[in-house]
Amino acid sequence: MEKRYQIFISSTFSDLKEERTKVMQTIMSLDCIPAGMELFPAMDEEQFEFIKKIIDDCDYYILMIGARYGSMDESGVSYTEKEYDYAVSKNIPVLAFLNKDISSIPLSKADLKDDLREKLDKFRKKVETGRLVKYWKNADELNAEVAISLPKMIKTYPRTGWVKANLMANSESLQEINELRKENEAFRAYKARIEKDINGAIDIADWDEIFTAHIMKYNWDIWGNTDNREIITLKFSYTWLEWFKIAAIKLENNRSVNISEVFSSAIEEKENIKESGFSIDPDDLTTIRHQFITYGVITRNTTGFEEIWSLTKKGEKLLSKLMCVKTKKSKQ
């Protein structure tokens, strides 16, 4: 059964655009599928984690080194070198192509700082150690080396590859498949970024931090006249864990409860207040609701004008931990 092999192309980006384009065309002409960082020319740590997944799906790895070390992470290692190290760690067959004379490369495509040149030199030496490498002077020579070396690598080190049911063996269809693959990768990367923004980017308060809510107490006149009532605002401060316990106990067996009354009655009991007529500030109630939703311990729905909170599985588990009896045994 005919196979298609996926080839990861690794290099710095802006200085080797022409070389990458020609190599990709050659890879497609060999009925293989090119993959690389075209989606993310400006690399960062989040995108690198996604690139690692692409490398995992590839059968072979092509490394092209010019006269630039490339953009680096916080520790000062270029993402190109990180890609190479990752591919080696996964035992993916590597084809390395190094520029023969970096001094001949235009200054606009080369690193000028001494520290970057030193990093590039160390990277080249690491790649040259323990494996055969090919050298090139220009884009055409590089492309020719790839065209010769890749089929030999596939023959010498056969890999799993990809099998398509109705794959047409022509460069036009392969390019179309590659474009669809890139669109799918872009969508997955966008989805991952959105999920990360929602789950990790918010600097949310810890459970043991204090939140102060405003409670409005209504003093009615002796006739119960609403026009003459007196409103007194009180403040009560508890940790987020205590606020959660107040609500969760009521929600455990009864979803259809008045949330405002839950907090008001709980505060009356907790503070041993004999009088009634308390109501939590609506803005504070909204803050508590969003805090619990972000913690992942409640869900919220509305039925008509009624707001219904429900404990999530995470919320039920947390409540169980809060309500269970703790051991009194001393820890050794």
Asked if 299 and 312 count as a contact pair (C-beta separation under 8 A), the reply is yes
| Boundary of a domain, candidates 153, 181, 200 | 200
Which secondary structure element, helix H or strand E, spans residue 28, and what is its range?
A: helix 17-29
Considering only CA atoms, which of 323, 259, 321, 264 is closest in space to residue 293? 259
Instruction: Please report the pLDDT score of residue 172 as a whole number.
Output: 58
> Are 167 and 246 in the same domain?
no
The 10s digit of each residue's pLDDT in 141-176 is: 999 999 999 999 999 998 888 875 555 455 556 666
> Are 67 and 20 in the same domain?
yes
Instruction: Please report the pLDDT score of residue 297 as a whole number.
Output: 86
> Are 152 and 80 in the same domain?
yes
Cα separation of 22 and 73, whole Å?
Answer: 28
> Are 168 and 147 in the same domain?
yes
Asked if 28 and 190 count as a contact pair (C-beta separation under 8 A), the reply is no
The 10s digit of each residue's pLDDT in 70-105 is: 888 889 999 999 999 999 999 999 999 999 988 888
Cα separation of 133 and 264, whole Å?
Answer: 74
> Are 56 and 21 in the same domain?
yes
**Torsion angles phi and psi, residue 330, rounded to 5:** -75, 140
| Boundary of a domain, candidates 200, 220, 252 | 200
Residue 247 resides in a domain: yes
Instruction: Please report the pLDDT score of residue 200 as a whole number.
Output: 52
> Are 262 and 316 in the same domain?
yes
Please name the residues in contact with 87: beta carbons below 8 A apart, sequence gap of 6 or more. 8, 10, 55, 58, 61, 94
Flag residues of the chain having pLDDT under 50.
168, 201, 227-228, 332
Helix, strand and coil content of the chain, in percent to the nearest 5, comes to 50, 20, 30
Instruction: Please report the pLDDT score of residue 11 as a whole number.
Output: 92
| Boundary of a domain, candidates 181, 200, 219 | 200
Cα separation of 95 and 132, whole Å?
Answer: 8
> Are 26 and 68 in the same domain?
yes
Cα separation of 82 and 125, whole Å?
Answer: 15
> Are 41 and 179 in the same domain?
yes
Residue 304 resides in a domain: yes
Domain that holds residue 281: 210-323
> Are 103 and 182 in the same domain?
yes
Name the domain count of the chain: 2
Considering only CA atoms, which of 149, 121, 139, 141 is closest in space to residue 15? 139
Task: Give the CB-side neighbour count of residue 237, counting CA atoms within 13 A.
Answer: 5
Residue 24 resides in a domain: yes
* Residue 227's CATH number: 1.10.10.10
Residue 245 resides in a domain: yes
* Residue 169's CATH number: 3.40.50.10140
Asked if 86 and 44 count as a contact pair (C-beta separation under 8 A), the reply is no
> Are 165 and 217 in the same domain?
no
pTM: 0.50
Residue 241 resides in a domain: yes
Considering only CA atoms, which of 143, 60, 65 is closest in space to residue 101? 65
Token couple for 123: 């990277």
> Are 170 and 313 in the same domain?
no
Residue 331 resides in a domain: no
> Are 138 and 46 in the same domain?
yes
Quickly list DSSP for 302-330: EETTEEEEEE-HHHHHHHHHHHSPPP-SP
